[in-house]
Amino acid sequence: MFRFFENLVNPFAAFREDTPPGHYWPYIKSQLGNFRRILPFMALTGMFVAITETAIIAYSGRVVDLLDTGQAEFWAAHGWELALAALFILLLRPLIIGLNSLFLENVLVSNMQDQVRWRAHKHLLGQSMSFFQNDFAGRLSNRVMQLGPAVEDSVFMAFEALWFSATYVIAAAFIVSQMDPVLAIPLVLWVVGFVWYTLFISQRVGAASEKWSDARSLVTGRIVDAYANVETVKLFGQGNAEEVYVGSAMRRHRARLQRFLRLMTEMAVGQNLLNGLLIAGMLGPAVWLWSIGRVTVGDVAAASALTLRLNGMSGWLMWVAIRMFEHAGVIREGLRSISVDHAVVDTPGAPALVVREGAIRFDDLSHHYGKGQGGLDHVTLDIPAGQKVGLVGRSGAGKSSLVNLLLRFRDAKGGRILIDGQDVSQVTQDSLRRSIGMVTQDSSLLHRSVRANILYGRPDATEAQMVEAARRAEADGFIRTLADPKGRTGYNAQVGERGVKLSGGQRQRIAIARVMLKDAPILVLDEATSALDSEVEAAIQETLYGMMEGKTVIAIAHRLSTIAAMDRIVVMDDGRIAEDGTHEELLALGGTYAGLWARQSGGFLGG
């Protein structure tokens, strides 16, 4: 039975992948779309629960009046009625409450959190590299994780508390008006005052909650940043500076939390004042009406029970309203990151890239990162299929910009890039990146096993193909000696966050094995062997040259000796192509490249 209700909604079902709405109510509505068939049942069962509760209290007043009929004839006259009431309380009431709980707990709660997080995560994964470079990974993940419970709890409380309470109050007003219309007046006045005060203070709480949530995310982001870069913190002896950096965020968090808690105290005082008015406003008139014979003792008892129940509910209701406004603050804060349009998107109906030969053309390419200068400036470069091109230049010359635009991590502001005549901006991003294998200078690994990291290059590869790629990358030997704290060894050993449990050279060799296994027709090497010692580099250099066979290759290097044997070397300077030719031709030219070569020290690019 539970599984049936749990599976009424699939939180991972396909959905329209637009940018999530940036405002509270439209966002909540977008998340409820997948639950639209279930919402009427949640509302109906919740309404029946509330009516049942008020009916029981009203009937208790009737029982008090029935007791006046005398002991001798009480059971004979009312036994069957009381038996039916008992059956209702023992059987039907639990059934209604249980059904309502199944819809709220097993349908809504068990699915909504994961749906919200899944959709938010899926949207963030489609963001450009610059989006992630401009924010803390910890803050982004914190916002995704907080968003799920905030949305789920808001919807849950809307049905479990607000809808239930609204139905309860309407039923209570109907019951007391049947006793005497005068009794309904103080109840209605109390409801108006309670709603006004709750909205008044809740809006202030919502604003304070948003600031508190923002401060909490900042603390999380700074703490995660320190932990993720703990080696740098320790190398530079900056533990005290990190304490100050995080401490300042925590002090801001404390101040905003205190503002929030002041409002909680203010709310408690106001709520109890309103509750006192309710008790006095209901019980006083009820006793007076009894004294003049307009209502019975049972009516007074029922009105008292309804009043005390509302008195107990009011604190719960105000807490619910505060929580909902608090959640609204969390949601609005989260939407600052979630409701952001993708900077790089596939054109509608974009086909997959088909690489037949691997020819690349950069056609009048310009990109200045939103500034007036820097980046690339009208670069035109043809790389025939199968050619190996070395890319040289000082830092900031535009080498990485060229590669980032080729991979479409950003969209160029001018010009275009063609692969076998296909504009990369008109094909799908996934197909483009599947066609390019890249080894970077600092290849981070996923916090998974060595096997999972290598197979990331080609998930459908066999075990033998995976091991062969590791062997060719000179990684198989050290991989077989690995062991993690949980006793997993070899290819099953976990590498830690970003591969922190491995040396830089070991991480690089696993990254190279991953790209070897991928076997893409276009290969980009960005200082691919810079983290390796000379002996391992010499062994891998031959493997890399073998991996280049039949591929179009772009190799960025500061160590010019690693690219001297390339078919062609392109020298970049200030976002433009300064020189283009073979190693020998550029040396004979006596220009920028020759000067760089002459100024090398130990094989590295000089000043």
Please give the average per-residue pLDDT across 431-436, as a whole number.
92
Question: CATH code for 360-598?
Answer: 3.40.50.300
| Mean per-residue pLDDT over the chain, rounded | 85
Question: Is residue 453 within 8 Å of 473, Cβ to Cβ?
Answer: no
Over 60: is that where the pLDDT of 179 sits? yes
Amino acid sitting at position 537: E
Write down the pTM of the prediction. Answer: 0.75
Most confident of 304-318, 343-357, 534-548: 343-357
> For the segment 16-43, what is each residue's pLDDT rounded down to a tens digit?
888 899 998 999 999 999 999 999 999 9
Structural tokens at position 375? 């980046």
Q: Is the pLDDT of residue 127 over 70?
A: yes
Partnered with residue 294 across adjacent β-strands are none
Say which residue, 247 or 68, is predicted with more confidence. 247
185 neighbors 340 (Cβ within 8 angstroms): no
Contacts of 469 (CB under 8 A, 6+ apart): 454, 457, 461, 513, 514, 516, 517
H helices, E strands: number in the chain: 22, 10
Q: Identify the band that residue 601 occupies on the pLDDT scale cut at 50, 70 and 90.
A: very low
Give the CATH H-level superfamily of domain 2-338: ABC transporter type 1, transmembrane domain (1.20.1560.10)
Where does the pLDDT of residue 204 fall: very low under 50, low under 70, confident under 90, or very high at 90 and above? Answer: confident
Rounded-to-integer distance, Cα 71 and Cα 55, Å: 25
Name the helix (H) or strand (E) containing 363. Answer: strand 360-367
Question: Which pLDDT does position 480 carry in this prediction?
Answer: 93
Q: Which two tokens stand for residue 82?
A: 């009381």
Task: Output the six-digit token pair for 527.
Answer: 């200082």
Residue 214: how many CB atoms within 10 A of its CB? Answer: 20
**Local confidence band at 535 (pLDDT 50, 70, 90 cut-offs):** low
Distance (Å, rounded) from C-alpha 509 to C-alpha 515? 10
Banded pLDDT at 607 (limits 50, 70, 90): very low
- CB-CB contact of 58 with 302 (8 Å): yes
pLDDT at 439: 85
Rounded-to-integer distance, Cα 70 and Cα 80, Å: 17
Please give the Cα distance from 457 to 524 (Å, whole number).
Answer: 14
User: In terms of DSSP H, where are the helices of 388-428?
Assistant: 399-406
**pLDDT for position 30:** 92
Listed residue (422, 409, 435, 416) closest to 522, CA to CA? 435
What are the extents of the domains in the chain?
A: 2-338, 360-598
DSSP one-letter code for 105: I
Closest alpha carbon to 556 in 589, 521, 598, 605: 605
**For residue 263, pLDDT beyond 80:** yes
